[in-house]
Amino acid sequence: MPTNDTRAPQAAPLPTPASPPEPPAPEPALEPSPAKPSPAAPVPAKPSPAKPSPATPVPAKPSPAVPAPAGPAPTGYRAVFAVREFRFVFAAHLCSLLGIVVSELALTVLVYDLTRSPLFSSLTFALGFLPYVFGGTVLAGLADRVPPRRVLVVCDLICAGCVAVMAVPLTPVAALLALRCAIAVVSPVFQGTRMATLADILGEGDLFVLGRSLLRIVSQSALLAGFAVGGVLLTVVPPRGALVVTTVTFLVSALLLRLGTVRRPARAAGGKREGLRATWGVLRDRRVRALMLMFWVPPLFAVVPEALAAPYADEIGVSTAALGLLMCALPVGTIAGELLAGSVLGPAVRSRIVVPLAVAGTLPFLLYAFTPGLALAAVALVLAGATAAYTLGLDAWFVAAVPEERRGRAMTLMSAGMMTAQGIGMAAAGLAAEFAAVHTVVAGTGILGTLVVIVLVLELRATERRDAADRHMTSG
């Protein structure tokens, strides 16, 4: 459009006295234009109306101030933060995540204070996992059928409303647990929509992968910092007061998403309802299903040492203070692995290490067979957490395999499956520890997890050969 604006005034010099020297015009029009384009711009533009078009681009290249950004362009994670819209999504994610962690801690304490029952207190955590199945299947279509910004803002407002009602002094325990379920129902829709929106904001290439990585790093960091912040907060204010703070964090997240992100139309054509049939249709695609399982299955085994951290600390006879080290080791390893893979490795290398890292993910658990002390157990968990860097390459494969019009639905389903798998893994770990020593359960998880992931990798290779798509991904 600017080129049209500059050419429009050039039609004005037609009546200028430069019209008589028409014969020599063809030669001079090409000579002076490179030397002094700006002062003589009106004169050469007139003499030869047919020739000025090739001549005008020549001065147009030196004149713009394109050389100004001659400094090094941001790369890696810095390139992601250079995108203004992502910065708003990142800040909103941080707010809502801290709100969720603090609310879970405050709600657990509140329910225990009201009931003095460990069962009801633990239910507040369990209810955070179970409704993901419902939200991730029945409501998954909303991520594609409704404009994404609206979905994100409404989900945050629903969470804020639920937590606000929790903070009301007269709210009974049953209502507290029901409201906890409501938050868990909308969470997978929110997460799936946000993941799909990242592809709109950052594109489907490496920026999307690094953006997803940053959000995961924040999630892991929130597990470390959120409980500490919540613990300190609960020493200053009562549990219901902490819930009021959580309400504010959800409202701030909604405001950031509303003001900082662009309004985009719904992905599904015409916003038509497709129901559960479309959700299962995502899983009927063999390659998408194999990739989905690669997201779901490793976390199912990875949570076992965390779920059994307290019994293991008791088994090896360490203090409860040392329990915090075991609980932090896996998230620390995950953060370190993500940062290393995202900042040091390129897309091709991250793609090649998906299979080896996924297969090796639970192998460090074999160290538990020797009933290691606190330090060695923590090292094993850090190493296991670091292998989660395989998800960076897996993210790139997944976004390439899922059609854009079903991307929100697929990512909502993927998010719900991951949370459900972790809930099942925790429950299965506790059940197994009723019949075997804790170190035996964790070591057995290392063997079983490795075998299952190898089977998944073979299936993934089969879909590669069948679809003739991205054959380089799992090769080598």
Residue-wise pLDDT tens digits, 364-394: 999 999 999 989 999 999 999 999 999 999 9
Quote the tokens at residue 103: 């609310």
Q: Which domains does the chain have, with CATH numbers?
A: 2-64 (no CATH), 78-273 (1.20.1250.20), 285-476 (1.20.1250.20)
CA-CA distance, 433 to 306, in Å (whole number)?
13
Tokens 């997890």 map to which residue? 449
% of the chain beyond a pLDDT of 90: 31
pLDDT value, residue 180: 87
pLDDT confidence of 256, banded at 50, 70, 90?
A: very high
Taking a C-beta distance cutoff of 8 angstroms, is the pair 415, 332 a contact? no
Rounded Cα distance, 329 and 365, in Å: 13
326 in Cβ contact with 381 (< 8 Å): yes
Q: Average pLDDT of 63-87?
A: 70
| 391-406 residue pLDDT tens | 999 999 998 888 887 8
What does pLDDT average to over the chain? 78
What is the average per-residue pLDDT within 270-280?
A: 64
CA distance 437 to 311: 9
Q: Give 157 or 2, the one with higher predicted confidence.
A: 157
* Three-class HEC string of 116-156: CCHHHHHHHHHCCCCCHHHHHHCCCCHHHHCCHHHHHHHHH
pLDDT digits (tens, 9 = 90+) for 394-449: 999 998 888 887 888 888 888 888 888 888 888 888 888 889 998 999 999 999 99
Residue 465: pLDDT band with limits 50, 70, 90? low
Distance (Å, whole) CA 35 – CA 199:
46
For position 339, what pLDDT does the model report? 92
pLDDT score recorded for residue 224: 73
d(CA 321, CA 398): 40
Cα gap 19→358, rounded to integer Å: 75
- Tokens coding 156: 């945050």
Gap between the Cα atoms of 63 and 271, Å rounded: 47
